[in-house]
Structure 1
Amino acid sequence: MTVNEMTKVIYDAIDDKIGQDISIINIGAVSSLCDYFVIATASSQRQVKAIADNVEDELTKLGIEPRGKEGYETQTWVLLDYGDVIVHIFNEEQRGFYNLEKLWKDAPYVDVDTLA
């Protein structure tokens, strides 16, 4: 599976659980950290967990396991590290506070329709 295909699966898994304001940022254009950040907002802690669980479940079906997981304890910001793609699921308050899009403002946005 290519990185673009994996990113599309992640996007769809987030969208399936009604994630809001889904952004795909091409971090690889400005850093060697990874290729993409996928960032989304959830309306509650329960939804943060549900979205993160759905992303993990969909990729596990494809034989892809996260290298790391953070934030399941608080469920205000869950990070799933898939190496080339890092997924950030925020509640509204945390997304505004950390504002990753502003932090990585030099990285271009990617339209999900160009991935697959």
Structure 2
Amino acid sequence: MIFINPEEFAQKIKGWIEDKNGIDIEVINVTEMTSIANYFVIASGSSERQVKAIADNIEYEAKELEIFPKNIEGQREGRWILLDYYDVIIHIFHAEEREFYSLEKLWKNSPVSR
């Protein structure tokens, strides 16, 4: 496993999401607000298939860097997939789910980059 700082890893993830045409990508620095992670990366896909493709691409590209997730949730349904890479947690939503949960609003006081 190689070492990569959380900010750099979050930006790489953003690029991997862009590679699969992810929508509305946000990188949120949550370092000052929680101890569970340093960054959240939140993005949407327009279909369950696209949500799964985005998550699969992140997992593939991270594995190429010998970085493996602690946990993955929601892959079967493809409506909200969470990939936990310790310091970086990725939420890939179907557009409808993202609007319903509005996860960004919970972290609105954190620095966001788009």
TM-score range, shorter chain: over 0.9
- What letter matches 1:89 in structure 2? I
1:30 aligns with 2:26: no
Alpha-carbon distance, 1:82 to partner: 0.2
Could you say which residue in structure 2 is the equivalent of 1:78?
A: 81
Q: Give the unaligned 5+ runs of structure 1.
A: 112-116
8 Å CA contact 1:29, 1:108 repeated in 2: no
Could you say which residue in structure 1 is the equivalent of 2:106?
A: 103
Q: What TM-score, normalized by structure 2, do the two folds share?
A: 0.93
Alpha-carbon distance, 1:70 to partner: 0.2
Match of 2:53 among 34, 50, 53: 50
Deviations 1:6-33 (A, max 9, x none): 1121111100000000001111121112
Could you say which residue in structure 2 is the equivalent of 1:114?
A: none
Give the superposed CA RMSD. Answer: 0.9
8 Å CA contact 1:9, 1:59 repeated in 2: no
8 Å CA contact 1:23, 1:109 repeated in 2: yes
Q: What TM-score, normalized by structure 1, do the two folds share?
A: 0.92
Q: Give the unaligned 5+ runs of structure 2.
A: none
Match of 1:40 among 30, 43, 60: 43
Deviations 1:89-114 (A, max 9, x none): 00011001111111111212135xxx
1:15 aligns with 2:18: yes
Aligned length: 111
Residues of 2 paired with 1:32 and 1:106: CA distance?
16
Deviations 1:58-91 (A, max 9, x none): 0000000000000011100000000000000000
